[in-house]
A and B are shown apart, each in its own frame.
Chain A
Amino acid sequence: MRLVRDQSHLIRRRPAIRFTFDGGMVEGHEGESVAAALWRAGLLGLRQAPDRGGPRGLFCCMGLCQECVVRLDGHLVESCRLTVSEGLILSRTEQGL
């Protein structure tokens, strides 16, 4: 019997929907942050940093560090500031951007 109980089963979310990232389908709950949905799906590496900086992904989770950016309609957007919606199409940034 834990002192701090696992309450995850008490959480109800909007239905899971699918969105596209890097050409593949990812499941997420409508309205949650894209960064969270990608993280839950095991997609932690979102881009390659410039100058052989290696794989990068979510870091500050509050829109400051710019490590989690993905491409939406040609624009780079912080995935921690994007919400999951039906038909959302996202792609990775090019290498080194």
Chain B
Amino acid sequence: MTSNPDIIVIGGGIMGASTALRLAEGGMHPLLLERGDIGQGASGVNAGTLSLQIKRVALMDYALRGYDLWRSMGAAVGFHCTGGYTLAFTPDEAEMLETRQRLKREAGAPIRFVTPAELRIAEPLLSDKVVAASHCPLDGYANSSLTGQYFRTRLKQAAIPYREACAVEIIHRDDPGFTLQTTQGRFQTPRILLAAGGWLAPMTDMLGTPLPVHARINTVTVTERLPRLTTTVIGHATGLLTMKQKPNGTMLIGGGWQGQGTPWEGRGRVSAESVIGNLALARFVLPALGTARALRSWTGFEAHVPDFYPLAGALPSIEGAFVLGCVRGGYTIGPYIGRLMGDFILGREPELPLFDPGRRFEEN
């Protein structure tokens, strides 16, 4: 099976694995190659937030379907639906919140606005300086560190061969088909799917179709186990804070504070100033965190292109080459867009439109 794959999927995160599963369902024989551990890139280190309140308006349909898939994955990925609040602390933030959340509601997310009094009943320990808040009952989270274990199991169940610790070093166009030089030898294949997230750019360069992929370096911090402080997913109007308390009592704190480094240096580096700022804001929003200790901070690479819409489709002017990634909110949308991608490669009409990688990228 490994010797004659119909397609090689490069990248074993949610995107690559979900696509591979759909392809196998449709009768293809994919081989998946992952440079590290399955699901250890952005898929495995993000804060796990599944919140419709932070999804782009034009991607809401994708997010809703992605959310449904996460719900069906259930306990195996630590899925929890808790409801979520987005908070504003100043008049400007409140105005921004009101405008944006209304548009997202119109796009299909069940979002409503709540009074500070109602918020205080649901989350009594939050700061009393909240001036406005929105709520979505579907919001919740999954345990991103279980991504790897989950997809490894699914790939095995579907008898899809995969290699870990297998980095693709060179992609050669055989026209037709491709030869891949990897750290575990050479592979030939008629088709490739680039699903390498933050590691996409050198691959598209290699194929002569460079794509403007950039990686943000998002930071997440986890605390020690704490008594129950919150029950919902907490967000901030500016996006500078996400907080969720896991069943084991640890609090996961994010908000896109930037670390340092690039994907080819390996892991990113945590920036102390970012951790300090992120946690200071967290404590402002939830004063009880003042007696808690942070145990661990880490970074993950979140790839995007200039218009912050996904890359999902065939690489321009190369027969048999496809790309999937750079989805903002890729954790929520990933399982669904992987399915769409699989359908597209199988020659079916995808349920929702994909995103042409050959498009002109307007700055957003």
Contacts and interface: CB of A to CB of B under 8 A. Distances in A.
A5 interface: no
Interface of B is mostly: loop
Contacts of B225: 50, 96-97
Contacts of B290: 74
B291 A73 contact: yes
A75 B291 contact: yes
B225 to A, nearest CB: 5
Contacts of A94: 227
A74 B227 CA distance: 11
Interface in B271-307: 290-291, 293
Interface residues of A, number: 8
Size bin of chain B's contact surface: under 10
A68 to B, nearest CB: 14
B3 interface: no
B291 A97 contact: no
A82 interface: no
Nearest to B291: A74
A76 B224 contact: yes
Given A50-B248, A97-B249, A76 B293 contact: yes
A59 to B, nearest CB: 17
Interface of A: 50, 73-76, 94, 96-97
19 contacts: A50-B225, A50-B248, A50-B249, A73-B291, A74-B290, A74-B291, A75-B291, A75-B293, A76-B224, A76-B291, A76-B293, A94-B227, A96-B225, A96-B249, A97-B224, A97-B225, A97-B226, A97-B227, A97-B249
